[in-house]
Amino acid sequence: MNGLLAILARDLRLASRRPTEALMPVVFFVVAASLFPFGVGPEPAMLKQIAPGIVWVCALLSSMLSLGSMYAGDHADGSLEQMLISGISAVEIAAAKSLAHWFMSGLPLIVVSPLLGLLFDMAPDSIGIMMLGLIIGTPVLSLLGSMGSALTLGLRNNAILILLIVLPLCIPVLIFGAGAVSAYEVGLAPDGHFYLLGALLLLSALGAPVATAAALRISV
């Protein structure tokens, strides 16, 4: 745990020194979601109906923006190799990197999401359901994204490969996250969607760091 916390603190300090790069996912999230009313029309009923899907799609794409640089900088300057031979478990390194990515991309999206809910005229209860889904689902995006970033480490133009690897794995998170809000708005209980999101989070938390650690050893 000491190694995990040390790497987490290091990555957060590095992110605080590059605020523009750290805020880019949030800016993309807000701008992309704000453009949808111009494209599909200003009709409140339609915007309210598609709002959960828009928010989740934008959250998924924003979390992908910083995946390419999750390990690339440390790999380029030799820091990643030093971490792997320092005695810290590769699983701890992968978990710390995923957690740092969630703090820098997932958590800000959760904080900003109520503003987008108000923009699409969502009810306060629906906004709460959407935020709860994001709280459970965004860590899955970071864990799976970490695995994709490690698998493509050292390859040229790896951003496209990361998208091809990670996006299909994240589709269930998108479906259940948006489906929870849609189910609530038609009078159904959203519990089943949350249970499935929780199961995906549990599976990702148990399996993704192990797979990421193996990919890091192969790449380095």
Q: What is the pLDDT of residues 52-73, one digit of tens each?
A: 888 898 888 888 887 877 888 8
Q: What pLDDT, on the 0 to 100 scale, is given for residue 164? A: 86
pTM value surpassing 0.75: yes
Q: d(Cα 89, Cα 215) in Å, to the nearest integer? A: 13
Given pLDDT bands bounded at 50, 70 and 90, which one contains residue 1?
low
Q: Which domain holds residue 139?
A: 2-219
Q: Residue 139: its pLDDT value, please?
A: 93
Q: What are phi and psi of 69, to 5 degrees?
A: -100, 10
CA distances from 113 to 33, 59, 93 (A): 10, 9, 29
How far apart (Å, rounded) are the C-alpha atoms in residues 69 and 62? 14
Cβ–Cβ contacts within 10 Å for residue 175, how many? 15
Domain count, the chain: 1
For position 99, what pLDDT does the model report? 92
What does pLDDT average to over the chain?
87
Q: What angle do CA 55, 39, 122 make, to 5 degrees?
A: 40
Question: Quick check: 47 pLDDT over 90?
Answer: no
pLDDT in tens, 154-170: 777 777 888 888 888 99
- Spatial distance between the Cα atoms of 220 and 206, rounded to a whole number of angstroms: 23
What's at 216, amino acid-wise?
L
Tokens of 143: 């864990």
CA separation for the pair 212, 131 (Å, rounded): 28
Tens-digit pLDDT profile for residues 118-151: 888 888 898 999 999 999 999 999 999 999 888 8
Give pLDDT, residue 143: 93
Burial grade of 167 (CB within 10 A; 0-12, 13-18, 19 or more) = middle
